Chain A
């Protein structure tokens, strides 16, 4: 038994456990006494089965958008993170400005801005799908930049000095010396960011771009079965999200172990 567990046990472990049990019973009891049995008895999940094809397509679109966000994010994030180390001031400021503006405003606002306000400036009307892809790609780019930048800064100073001392050209210095260990370190945070973009794609449903959540909205409008459809969709998100995060956790442990072996 570790020290912290002993301390928790001493400061009222049984009280915490019994208290939690009571709390659980209270919540379940409240839910049971206030449940609307009439609706619950009338639940009919056949709508899910009837529209399985549409739901599956929606899921594919969701996964595709996640992939776009991750691919563009890694690419743009790496390039911008390298640029953020540039000796030219304005380049650094531009990158920092982009990252700060995107990270400090909600994806929802960016999405609406790109769909409704950007066409006023550019004069080109984007379709909802284009706006959605643009929004999530830009969003991902900023978050990945920040993560890769942290990775670059974690590369020991000696390796920079060694690359300079050997007179390696800039391209070789980045691709052979700095980026490989930097990207290796940031692999676990990149994986958890990708999971948060998977969750973020649900937001794009406000533009009805045909991913899982907007498909669910359309089916529930057609069948008047919101509880069945949305609960099923929530379950799908949960299962896939949980599987992803377990994989990411395994990756993190694997990296930590191989890191320990290397040093």
Chain B
């Protein structure tokens, strides 16, 4: 067994384009998912009516269905049911945005609900305008408490993009798999793929741990 670094150097551009695709898809789904997450979060918090029921259903649906099944369904079944042509990357972004929206909605909701009740009642009875309550009383502690969960969700999302290789989106795993098949250097390319993911995700998991640690030290619970 030999580990051939030369072949990795030779195919460096392909692997790099895989990294770019992974980052692009993660970023786009995170942005679109955040919009969806905010909508779903307030839909669920608003308490009654059809919006509440629908938000709850959508959140539960996309949190329960396996990511792989969701990605595969959006890619292979949705275009058949609709007069809709999606490239594999577009269907990937659609599926991952829905997935992120559901998870981010729950994280946001937990953050908002974690704000101390006494502080809310105090600001209400002081007659502070609601806009100010949001900006000054709710958002600062909520953001602090959500940040570990949001960072770990981001690393989860990067890991989920590896599933996109099954619908031939040219991200890191797909490139490694294809290059491995072409050159029979599976060991080199798959190890490189794993190392690339590690390089992206390890700082994130460190950051999540750090922000969690800081939270506990401040005694905010």
Contacts and interface: CB of A to CB of B under 8 A. Distances in A.
A100 B66 contact: no
B173 A20 contact: no
A11 B130 contact: yes
Contact of A21 (B51, B61, B138): B51
A1 B186 CA distance: 60
B133 A7 contact: yes
Interface residues of B, number: 69
A201 B66 CA distance: 9
A75 interface: no
A117 interface: yes
Interface in B90-132: 112-113, 115, 117, 120-121, 124, 130-131
Nearest to B113: A4
Interface in B50-92: 50-52, 54-55, 60-61, 64-70, 72-73, 76-77, 80-84
Interface stretch (A127-135, A173-181, A224-232, A255-263): A224-232
Interface stretch (B8-16, B26-34, B40-48): B40-48
Contacts of A110: 194
A105 B122 CA distance: 46
Contacts of B112: 4
B200 to A, nearest CB: 8
A5 B45 contact: yes
A8 B155 CA distance: 31
A110 to B, nearest CB: 7
B177 A231 contact: no
Interface residues of A, number: 60
Interface string B155-181: 100111111011000001100110010
A105 B195 CA distance: 8
Interface in A194-209: 198-203, 205-206
The 6 closest A-B CB pairs, nearest first, are A20-B51, A106-B162, A3-B120, A199-B66, A108-B162, A116-B186
17 contacts: A4-B115, A4-B117, A8-B42, A11-B131, A24-B51, A105-B198, A107-B162, A109-B193, A109-B194, A120-B187, A198-B66, A226-B77, A230-B73, A231-B73, A231-B77, A241-B66, A245-B64
A173 B65 CA distance: 42
A109 B124 CA distance: 51
A199 B134 CA distance: 37
B207 interface: no
Nearest to A244: B64
B134 A17 contact: no
Contacts of B176: 109, 112
